[in-house]
Structure 1
Amino acid sequence: MGTPLGDFIRAKRDSIQPTELGLPERGRRRSPGLRRSDLAARAGISVEYLTRIEQGRDRNPSVQIVNALADALSLGPEERNHLRYLVKITGSECGAHPRPAPASREVRPGVLQTLRLLEPGIAAVTNRLGDVLARTPGYELVFGACGLLDTDTPNLTRYVFTDPAARSFFADWDAIADEQAFDLWLGPSIENCVWLTTELTPVAGPEFTSRLRRHTVPRRGPLHLRHPAGPELRLLRETLELPTDSQQLTVYLPADAATAQALESLRTPVRLRAIS
């Protein structure tokens, strides 16, 4: 059985062409990407040891090995952070299996007060599992019409992968799906991540599970939305991490003048005068 760490290393190896690292082509291969022997040589480890890591038979590589693999794969800063995180949670899996449990939905009073100060702006408090824990009326104006907030416990990850309306609402649905799948690896705890993936996998299907295994670090560009009322919106996202709460406060800002005008029209809909 594989591990998140092994899946990530194998996925990165498959995504790299030898020529990108200055290595010669060695004819056609049945599988794409970098050969296991080439990666092992670049990292200074044996092919057998790399195989054990990729297959999940070695779950606790040393810091030196992890850094050598990061260098050999030419990982960027965000990918290196993700690799270190996967080493941590993979090693913890050697202990007792966690009991799946839902994440806490409590938001501190000080955070709620901060959210109120942002009104009438568009802002929300979420966690890495996608739970929308608190929001401003401006957030409801933009995200309420798409069906995301129709439940008592709205969850963006569940909405993206299970509600057909999400593909129309998010113009860049693939990018948003990548973000939501990746963020599950950064969930409040391993237990909570297990809880959501156990619930989500049966209903979300391969669109979800393939992204979860791919470990693609998202770029998180502007959010492009097709609002059900008509206007297209482009929003920049400014996120404040709340590490002690395992939550984030995100503020959405218009990326252009057209979006600012569209948001203003949503806030002040035209009232038709009665015909006398």
Structure 2
Amino acid sequence: MASNNILGEFLRARREATNPIQVGLLYSGPRRTPGLRREEVAMFAGVSTDYYIRLEQGRERHPSEQVLGALARALDLEPAAAAHLHELAHPRPPQLRAVEQTEKVSPDLLRLIHGWPFTPALVINRWMDVLARNPLAAALFDGQEHADNLVRMVFLNPAVREIHRDLGRDWEQLAHAKVAHLRAAVGTDLDDPHLAELVDELSLKNADFHRLWVRHDVSRVSPIIALFRHRDVGDLILTCEAFTVNSAPGQQLITIHAEPASPSELALTLLGSSVMGHDHEKHLYRRLKTA
């Protein structure tokens, strides 16, 4: 899957995805091809058109930091995408992959999340494989297809798109954010066999994933809203927060919670009570009284 011209592919994809009006050009009617023209990017970046073309074609591979900064401004890149551009131009030496270390979740972290009876929590790696769940997260995801990987679940589980449609939410926004976050997480390590397998599978099975992947969007911000349709407690609108696990590079802790006093909080509490057993009935009663 990896290309020998990933810098050029990134520049071309971001150029074609940039709206001319976005960078201050006046509307002059429909364009034959999407996005900016090469000469426009070159003009905004203060380089010659020929030099920029060589960058896209991979015939020039060593742009200066000054040129990279100018290109980031010309393409109106967000900070994560600008950092990705610099990394593509000056990649770090490849490191030996310690897959076993990446997949192993610390016993201390497992004890922590298993001590949260009313807060679903899970640990993922940089490919968004789910490495661990606490009991409430397991109950929340129960019955969801492809729940072993958060990207697969978004693109290959029809129920995810269905609940977004039913609740008037934008599935496209969720899908775009997941792909951009995956790009940011893997960085320049595009020849990683696990990533190649995931991207090839999703590109083959879902045209939307392929369309979004080739845009080369990069974002380190994960979607904060998650929608679930649970067979026992109904529809839930929940909020997610992601935390970096410093002791395990590439891992993230995801916590899930509901708006206080909302129907979703009540449903999550009921689900947590059923998971934890009758020992929490008094706790549930107190929460219901204040809801």
TM-score (structure 1 length as normaliser): 0.78
Question: For residue 34 of structure 1, what is the aligned residue in structure 2?
Answer: 36
**Contact residue 181 and residue 218 of structure 2 kept, 8 A:** no
Is 1:259 the counterpart of 2:269? The answer is no
Is 1:212 the counterpart of 2:213? The answer is yes
Q: Which moved more, 1:30-39 or 1:223-232?
A: 223-232
TM-score (structure 2 length as normaliser): 0.75
**Contact residue 129 and residue 193 of structure 1 kept, 8 A:** no
The residue correspondences of 1:1-276 to structure 2 (distance < 5 A) are: 3-25=5-27, 28-89=30-91, 104-149=102-147, 154-168=148-162, 172-185=170-183, 186-187=185-186, 190=189, 193-202=192-201, 203-217=204-218, 220-229=223-232, 231-245=234-248, 246-255=250-259, 257-268=262-273
Question: For residue 274 of structure 1, what is the aligned residue in structure 2?
Answer: none
**Contact residue 118 and residue 272 of structure 2 kept, 8 A:** no
**Contact residue 158 and residue 200 of structure 1 kept, 8 A:** no
RMSD of aligned C-alpha atoms? 3.2
The alpha carbon displacement at 1:252 in A equals 0.7
**Contact residue 125 and residue 248 of structure 1 kept, 8 A:** yes
Q: Deviations for 1:33-69, whole angstroms, at most 9, x for unmatched residues? A: 2221111011111212212222333333222211111
Q: Deviations for 1:117-139, whole angstroms, at most 9, x for unmatched residues? A: 33341100001201100111111
**Contact residue 181 and residue 212 of structure 1 kept, 8 A:** yes
Q: Secondary structure at the residue paired with 2:43? A: helix
**Contact residue 239 and residue 257 of structure 2 kept, 8 A:** yes
Q: Which amino acid aligns with 1:35?
A: R
Q: Which amino acid aligns with 2:112?
A: T
User: For the residues of structure 2 that align with 1:35 and 1:147, how far apart are their CA atoms?
Assistant: 42
Question: For residue 272 of structure 1, what is the aligned residue in structure 2?
Answer: none
**Contact residue 160 and residue 167 of structure 1 kept, 8 A:** yes
Q: Secondary structure at the residue paired with 1:147? A: coil
**Contact residue 238 and residue 250 of structure 1 kept, 8 A:** yes
The alpha carbon displacement at 1:264 in A equals 2.0
Q: Secondary structure at the residue paired with 2:52? A: helix
User: For the residues of structure 2 that align with 1:118 and 1:265, how far apart are their CA atoms?
Assistant: 14
How many residue pairs get aligned? The number is 260
Question: Residues 188 and 62 of structure 1: is their aligned pair in 2 closer, same or farther, counting only changes over 3 Å?
Answer: closer
Q: Which amino acid aligns with 1:187?
A: V
User: For the residues of structure 1 that align with 2:182 and 2:44, how far apart are their CA atoms?
Assistant: 30
Q: Which amino acid aligns with 1:161?
A: F
The alpha carbon displacement at 1:2 in A equals 7.0
Question: Residues 191 and 34 of structure 1: is their aligned pair in 2 closer, same or farther, counting only changes over 3 Å?
Answer: closer
**Contact residue 130 and residue 155 of structure 1 kept, 8 A:** yes
**Contact residue 130 and residue 180 of structure 1 kept, 8 A:** no
**Contact residue 103 and residue 188 of structure 1 kept, 8 A:** no
Q: Which amino acid aligns with 1:113?
A: R
User: For the residues of structure 1 that align with 2:86 and 2:116, how far apart are their CA atoms?
Assistant: 35
**Contact residue 240 and residue 256 of structure 2 kept, 8 A:** yes
